[in-house]
């Protein structure tokens, strides 16, 4: 059911159990996978993880990058009639939204699920816990310098629908000049890793490629999380990610997370810095120059 996306009643002759037992077995399996492995395989990047992501980003020309963010819409075939209005957006059929952050090795570092399909990527971002650890001073601090400007927050590559925040770097639409065109190509090439992660996830687990058949949102949430967890397990098992690998140059740019939470005023100020548009513009301009001057042979 998970791998091939077959309905529950198609398994009765093969495994000799009824439809209701097959559904209950699936529910219990995904719930246990999430309970046992979520803390390890859906963890927020720690100091070692952040150092690794920064090093991989620097090799691709993007100093301070924590890789790519995007959303995937999962059609909900058996959405109860009373909820269908909430789950319909620009797509006619009910959908549920998955927001992820993925690196170039296809590891999914962040998975936020269960948002109503009537939302778009921006609404999901505003409700996402992605920047909560950063605002609460629990995430590792990232330090890097571009064009003599110092930065203490990493950023994610995003498409044009996302807002102009200090923690998001978008492409340049209708770019003019060789530098801007080269940056747009580099940004879009690196950002496509999240699209690849969606494609690999759906190819491995056809249940999230086809329309969801379960009736309750809690089970669908466990199914999606379990598939992401097992996807990361496969990435690790294939040797793409080595959990013991260390990067010295990246480690110098990462400071350990702080134990104490911020006060309310500090939390508000942190959110203002995360959403600062001037920093967004300054960072993008700096990256355009940096990639053109130091990585002109990559793309």
Taking only the tens place, the pLDDT of each residue in 65-90 is: 999 999 999 999 989 888 888 888 76
Quick check: 124 and 97 in contact, CB under 8 A?
yes
Confidence grade of residue 228 (pLDDT, cut at 50, 70, 90): very high
> What is the mean predicted confidence (pLDDT) over 86-100?
86
Q: What is the mean pLDDT of the chain?
A: 88
Cα–Cα nearest to 166, from 98, 66, 249: 66
* Helix axes 178-204 and 217-237, enclosed angle (nearest 10): 110
Q: Confidence band (pLDDT; 50, 70, 90) for 107?
A: very high
Return the minimum-mean-pLDDT range out of 20-29, 208-217, 221-230, 264-273: 264-273
Can you give the pLDDT at residue 259?
Answer: 55
Taking 70 as the threshold, does the pLDDT of residue 258 lie above it? no
Structure tokens at 31: 């719930």
Buried b (16+ CB within 10 A) or exposed e, 79-100: beeeeeeebbbeeeebbbbbbb
The residue whose two tokens read 């790519």 is 68
pTM: 0.90
**Among candidate residues 95, 152, 143, 147, the one with its CA nearest the CA of residue 119:** 95
Q: What is the mean pLDDT of residues 147-173?
A: 94
CA distance 205 to 15: 19
> How many whole angstroms separate alpha carbon 133 and alpha carbon 131?
6
């Amino acid at each position: 059911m998970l791998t091939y996306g077959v309905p529950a009643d198609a398994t009765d002759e093969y495994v000799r159990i009824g439809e209701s037992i097959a559904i209950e077995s699936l529910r219990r399996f995904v719930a246990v996978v999430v309970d046992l492995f979520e803390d390890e395989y859906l963890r927020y990047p720690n100091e070692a993880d952040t150092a690794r992501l920064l090093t991989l980003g620097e090799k691709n020309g993007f100093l301070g990058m924590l890789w790519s963010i995007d959303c995937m819409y999962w059609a909900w075939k058996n959405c109860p009639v009373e909820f269908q209005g909430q789950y319909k957006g620009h797509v006619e059929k009910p959908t549920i939204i998955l927001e992820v952050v993925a690196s170039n090795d296809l590891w999914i570092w962040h998975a936020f699920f269960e948002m109503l399909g009537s939302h778009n990527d921006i609404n999901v971002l505003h409700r996402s816990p992605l920047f909560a650890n950063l605002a609460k001073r629990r995430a590792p601090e990232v330090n890097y310098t571009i064009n003599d400007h110092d930065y203490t927050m990493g950023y994610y590559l995003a498409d044009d629908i996302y807002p102009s925040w200090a923690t998001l770097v978008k492409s340049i639409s209708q770019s003019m000049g060789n530098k801007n065109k080269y940056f747009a190509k580099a940004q879009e090439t690196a950002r496509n890793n999240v699209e690849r992660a969606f494609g690999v996830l759906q190819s491995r687990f056809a249940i999230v490629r086809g329309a969801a058949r379960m009736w309750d949102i809690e089970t669908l949430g466990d199914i999606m999380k379990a598939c992401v967890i097992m996807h990361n397990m496969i990435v690790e098992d294939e040797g793409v990610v080595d959990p013991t690998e260390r990067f010295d140059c990246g480690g110098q740019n990462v400071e350990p997370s702080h134990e104490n939470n911020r006060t309310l005023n500090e939390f508000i100020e942190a959110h203002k810095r995360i959403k600062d548009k001037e920093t967004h513009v300054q960072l993008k301009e700096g990256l355009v120059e940096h990639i053109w001057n130091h990585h002109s042979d990559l793309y």
